[in-house]
Amino acid sequence: MSKAPVDPRFAFDPTDQSKTQDFELMAKIRRECPIVRPTENVVLTTRYEDTALAFRDAKTFSAVGDMRAPGVVVPLEESFMGELDAPLHPRIRKVLARVFTRRGALAAEDWTRDRVRGRLAALAARDRADLMKEFAMIVPGSVAAHVMGIPEPMHDQLMSWCSDVLHSSWPSTGKTERGEGIAASFPELAAYVDGMIREREQAGDAAPPGLLTVMVQASDEQGRVISAHHARTLVVNMLAGSLSASFMLGNLLHRLLTDPEFDATLRREPAKIPAAVDESLRLEAPVTFLFRRARHDTEIGGCPILAGEQIMLGMAAANRDEAVYPDADQFRLDRETPKAHLAFGLGPHVCLGNHLTWMIGRVVLEELLARFAPGQIRLVDGFEWECVDHIQEYGPETLPVRIGKS
């Protein structure tokens, strides 16, 4: 592959969070050179239309290696949904889409609301807590596990294991110091998931309801759609992927704790809660970027792209494109018919869990505002916002709070 020049004005390591999450830098790039090569064979998009175009064009831009560091490709059965191409991607997506629907999210709402109330009640009985580690990091994964049909007593343990996955080298490299692949890197997690898959394979028609049973039993004219090995990977995918919703919650909770007017507005006008969730997803996108790879020579926004180059789709940058969103760097609850943000991606790979994520954000805000009076939860003195240590995720690592008695 020939090499196109790196722009020395905007050269940086794509795995350097201090650069990829520097929104002033992204705005400068968008103004001066909206499609740029920050390093060899990597092309960054920062405008909405360019980023949306690449998301939609799966024939030109391959998803293989989507979440990995440049150059890393893992075996097919160790691949998450977001890094699969056709023909396998649409086959598997058709199975998962039976459950990941707007109706499916609404069906899970009562269960979600009940569990959120229970966790908030437990927090209310204490004087200190970490809203990330003890609430936000657990709730979305618990909902995903419920939808899959995983027994509730295992939810917290599973999310603890998945947090280990997120904070390891596995997402970017496919391996850790323990070994290569999920089974070697996280043997306890793999063993539990494999056990659930075997139980459902053996139970046949008596298998418990839930998405995992649907996955295990799915077949079409080509035979079984999802192998046991790949089913394990996809379970980890859905549980660990729910942590993006956790960082959405973290961003919302941080805003609620630091912006009294935001808190007051939502209490006064609860109908604006859905807009608050959507605006947080836009302005504070929990996934900063995703990767694609050019299958052949092409172009984006007039910039030549060479076959094999990796395309860094700047979702967070595109969500702040001034050409699309007035006052793009401002959190606004009054946006009139806003253009769909790119926090969930777009096109054939749009996030399957988007309906669940929206529902969880809305329910958490509704229940937290109902449970706690203004000022009853406060960030501890001296709190400093620290981003989660992951090349693509954006949200607070911790939210330590003091809880007053009403």
Check which CATH number belongs to the domain holding 89 and give it: 1.10.630.10
Domain membership of residue 202 (yes or no) is yes
Q: Is residue 138 scored above 60 in pLDDT? A: yes
Q: Which domain holds residue 89?
A: 17-403
pLDDT at 117: 98
Q: Is residue 406 scored above 70 in pLDDT? A: no
Q: How many CB atoms lie within 10 A of CB 114?
A: 11
Domain membership of residue 114 (yes or no) is yes
Domain membership of residue 129 (yes or no) is yes
pLDDT at 405: 67
In the numeric block, which tokens belong to residue 363?
Answer: 């329910």
Domain membership of residue 12 (yes or no) is no
Domain membership of residue 372 (yes or no) is yes
Domain membership of residue 221 (yes or no) is yes
Domain membership of residue 55 (yes or no) is yes
Domain membership of residue 8 (yes or no) is no
In 125-227, where does DSSP find H-type helix? 139-148, 155-166, 170-173, 182-185, 187-203, 211-217
Domain total of the chain: 1
Render pLDDT for 190-248 as a digit per residue (tens, 0 to 9).
999 999 999 999 999 999 999 999 999 999 888 999 999 999 999 999 998 899 999 99
Within 13 Å of residue 121, how many CA atoms lie on the same side as its CB? Answer: 6
